[in-house]
Amino acid sequence: MDVLDEKANGGPSMPAMEINEVVSVRDQEAFAAKHLPDMGYDVKDFKVFTWKLGSWKKLDKKLTSPDFECGGHKWRILLFPFGNSNAPPNDTVSVYLDYAEPKKAPEGWHACAQFALVISNIHDPTVFTVSHAHHRFIAEECDWGFTRFAELKKLFSKQEGYARPTIEDDAADISVFVRVLEDPTGVLWHNFVNYDSKKETGFVGLKNQGATCYMNSLLQSFFCTRYFRKAVYQIPTEDDHPTESVALALQRVFYHLQTSDHPVGTTELTKSFGWKSLDSFLQHDVQEFNRVLQDKLESKMKGTKAEGAIAKLFVGKMKSFIKCVNVDFESTRLEEFNDIQLNVKGMKNLHDSFKDYVAVETLEGENKYQAEGLGLQDAKKGIIFESFPPVLHLQLKRFEYDVNRDAMVKINDRHEFPFEIDLAEFLDPSADRSQPWVYKLHGVLVHSGDLHGGHYFALIKPDRETRWLKFDDDRVTPVTDKEVLEENYGGEALNGVHPSLQQRNQARTVKRFTNAYMLVYIREAAMDEVLPPFTEEDTPPHLKRRLEEERLQMEAKKREREEQHLFLTAKVITDDTFARHEGFDLATFEDKNWPPSDLPSFRVLKTETYKTFKSRVAQHFHHPESQIRLWVLVNRQNKTVRPDTPIPENEPTLTVEVIRNNMAARQSDLRLYLDVIPDASRAEIPPQSIMVFLKHFDTSKQTLFGAGKVYMLKSNKVGDLVPAINERMRWTPGTPIKLYEEIKPGMIELMKPKLSFAQSEIQDGDVICFQVDLPENEVHDIDTQGLQSTPIGYYDFLQNRVMIIFRPKVDEGDPEFNLVLSKKHNYDTMSQKAGEYLRHDPIKLRFTTTHAQNGTPKSILKRSLNQSIAEIMSPYYATSTVILYERLDVSIVELETKRSLKVVWTGIHNKEEAAHPFLLPKTSSVHDLAENLAKKVTLTPTGTGKIRIFEISKDGKNQKEFTGSEMIGNIPDPVELYAEEIPREELEADDSDKVIGVFHFSKDLMRTHGVPFKFVVKRGEKFADTKKRLQARLGVSDRDLAKYRFALILASTFKQPSYIEDEDTIYDHQFAPEDVLGLDHVDKSGKTRVGAGEKAIVIRG
């Protein structure tokens, strides 16, 4: 029974006690208007059905009403007069709207219904109890309603303010008011269980990697711009690798979006961008991502058939001008644009935003324009468009810098945009108007949430014929026009309720945090060229071939996985693998601290006979079948894995699975030892002999490796091994040897040479370790070096060994390396060994542990604790641990009382010259830091000798200067500090001068770079002269300066930058505290900042 708690669906069941007049149940239209809120959907059909019931107390526990028809579906009321089995018995009424005969409905049926269930008095229809709900009725959920509709005792008794009870004379009317609603998209109130995007829409979604939904929404928009998709396909990528080539990775994503039935992954694409670290997946600005991706693709298209495609699609032209009113003089500059940033704040709709963008400013009064050779003139200043591109990307400025908060904020104001807009009025009168400049909405990129997170999705109309679709990560669904426009305007919304209706369930207005931030319009005249039909020939053959091969490989792997239960894996130990093995047993299989041995493996059908399998093994290792036999390894009770029994050769029907089940129980794999008998004529091993494996512990090399096997009679003495070992190792006969039995990890015992193998309980597959018996003085020397003089200590090291991976924490030029250490070693041993590897004083190495899941820094290790490796690794359960290291210039002991800081010195010419590290007592002041810096840098001989230390504001536009008295220990960590020499001009500025902030940016105010600085503005000085002083301050050449543009950035308005002409006098501007001068020029540092404290997006591949 599918139920809704009535409180969640229109409030608790209760008599309708309204201040205004009570509406009768029989006044159907008025009752529905009052008790069924308008949900904003079109109504397909409306019906009221009433079911009269008498003898209530004698009714069955469950009954259904006669059927009635509404909206092409049959319905009925389902009633439990004394509550259904889920509710406490006999004290409530349960009532539901039930879809009659769902099994007779066509497959995949659904009906969206809003309904109110009412129990009313048979004599007085103004006495009733009502509850309403809405639901998508489907085969799996074909009834919906209220388990606790009302308490029986309340229905049988008079309630306050009413003359009669609801159930009177043991009878009542049960009515249902049903609105079947139109579902134009087919997904209204869908739960999306088993939803198939491809089947429903013809499109598939993209998987979200974490915070890549902003990227997914733009990629879907690009994919649907078919001209763009074709251009990307024309980039030659036959010889590229997908994780290193953006072009190939994007081609592959597009191809999968075309052909796949399931959501497509983007991991290859982000890897091709060079995004490997966690911070790559922070939510970036889509505009920034769009520009960087377009730049990257444009460079890849050069010299190919696709060259110029991006400019043709996305690039328009605009002209900024200053035109004198009273004389014939005009100064103009022509620029290209890839997108237009439009203000949302204070704008009612898109048309207003365009009008604001091209609004003409009048320069008059004190603000007159100095026209070349014509003196001060009244003038008009503005921007006009020369042309718009076929695909127009409009960025709505939903994210703005708030001066008061020194932070970015999101603007959720209402801002309307149309399905069609004519942009002709914003074009220069001389623009080509041979075809209309009418644009049709093609895509809406939406952000839901606030500045610090949220979700992105795209609404796209792929072509003239296809309906609007919502691309929300891995799901694609049809949407209505209202969902495209109204729901993404932002502003305040009535919570799903029509504003004109004042019913009981009127919702309060709520601020909407879901709104459009980027619009894609396509020029109607270019629609057929931008969105041409996509044909099979448009996909590069090499891409189809390559991906088809991969698909077949994937299917083969899938088949292999599905058939895995029919196979088992046989791993074979050989004398060669044993000779390379350093550890317990003959190979490592399951050791949580050490990776398993790399052994030859065979995938074997479980039903394969041993005869066939043995033949395969013999062929693989190039041995005649008669010269090999295979031993099965078993897990002994003492936790060792040893050869136990040779597989019998005389059973022709013996299968591999039977061998595994009968001879090696409790193992999923079959582990085998390949026993090669060199002389076929001596194939028979004497019946009383045992197979013993030997290992050599080399004290000088501190190694322990396999040294083959021997067959010995059980009656032989253990000491009989010594001559055999001397011969095998080619040592002088009579070399004294010590023998140890490898019983199990942690139990390695010296053997008595005079006992027999039987007395020593040696059996097939046992391991004996030998070493040269050294004189005492040599043993002493080895021990004093901290090395092992016997295998017992070495086996202990092996039992506790772990692989530690050391990675540089900061300097990417430092190497990554591995060290094998014992869990019993301590911090000092670790730092000493790391120091030896790095050739760096161990006391000047600092180590930081990492999080096992993602390798990010966790906590700095304190040397004073001198923890063991086991404690440092805790709670690691992996075979290796990652530890980050830093090379320091000072001892880590000093660091505990001192603060390490790095200051970037920009000198007198605002250039990042060098970063100077300092280690000063935490009680030092910023003034002390400046004094220490002065000793390291070269100040101008005739300069002020004064240094300013500062941070950069989050938006990259201002300095945040320190007073000098702050204690460096109190400066929050992490911090980026900068310092500059204070120019004489600034120090000697008088009251008539203005000191303003200056910052660097590239085209877009959000793309700041370099370091902001202070600059003196002088009264009456024309900007041509100001520019010369700026040039001197920056130390740039005339040639470079010619590429600079200068703009006044006003904190109070959110307008585009106001570019300055040579004749302007910026002193006359009434500077607000946050108003700054912006230098617009190309960033050559590669350190662009985007927005407030965000990292710039970089795409490498």
User: Residue 286 half-sphere exposure, CB side, CA atoms within 13 Å?
Assistant: 34
> What is the arrangement of strands in the sheet containing 316-324, beginning at the earlier edge strand?
330-337, 316-324, 379-387, 361-363
Parallel, antiparallel or unpaired: strands 898-905 and 857-860 = unpaired
- Written as one string, the DSSP assignment of 273-319 is TT--SGGGGS---HHHHHHHHHHHHHHHHTTSTTTTHHHHHH-EEEE
CA distance 392 to 522: 6
Q: Which of 455, 840, 909, 927 is catalytic?
A: 455
What whole-number distance in Å separates Cα of residue 281 and Cα of residue 190? Answer: 30
- The DSSP-derived string for 869-924 is HHHHHTT--SSEEEEEEEE-SS-HHHHTTEEEEEEEE-TTTT---EEEEEEEETT-
Closest CA to 693 of 557, 581, 852: 581
Identify the residue whose tokens are 């983007």: 266
Residue type, 787: L
Distance CA 427, CA 146 (A): 61
Return d(Cα 1067, Cα 996) in angstroms, integer. Answer: 10
Instruction: Using alpha carbons only, give the angle 928, 930, 934 rounded to the nearest 5 degrees.
Output: 120
| DSSP code of residue 182 | P
Which helix (H) or strand (E) is 271 found in, with range?
A: helix 267-272
Euclidean distance between CA atoms 50 and 174, whole angstroms: 6
Distance from the first to the final alpha carbon of the chain = 55
CB 415 within 8 A of CB 347: yes
Pair type for strands 898-905 and 880-887: unpaired
Distance (Å, whole) CA 27 – CA 76: 21
* Dist CA 95 CA 142 (whole Å): 14
Catalytic residue among 213, 224, 324, 769: 213
Q: Which of 40, 34, 172 is nearest to 116 (CA)?
A: 34
**To which residue do tokens 């059980």 refer?**
714
- C-alpha to C-alpha distance for 897 and 1065, rounded to whole angstroms: 52
CA 625 to CA 613: how far, in whole Å? Answer: 11
Chain centre distance of CA 48: 51
Q: Which residues pair with 382 in a beta bridge?
A: 321
CB neighbours of residue 180 within 10 Å: 21
What is the rounded CA–CA span in Å between residue 354 and residue 382?
Answer: 12
| Tokens matching residue 302 | 């050069």
3-state SS string for 377-421: ECEEEEEEEEECCCEEEEEEECEEEECCCCEEEECCCCCECCCEE
213 as an active site residue: the answer is yes
State the Cα–Cα distance between residues 941 and 955, nearest whole angstrom: 34
Q: 3-state class of 960 per DSSP?
A: strand
Dist CA 678 CA 81 (whole Å):
90
- Report how far residue 231's alpha carbon sits from residue 113's, in angstroms, rounded to the nearest whole number: 47
Alpha carbon distance 1069, 424 (integer Å):
34
Catalytic residues: 213, 455
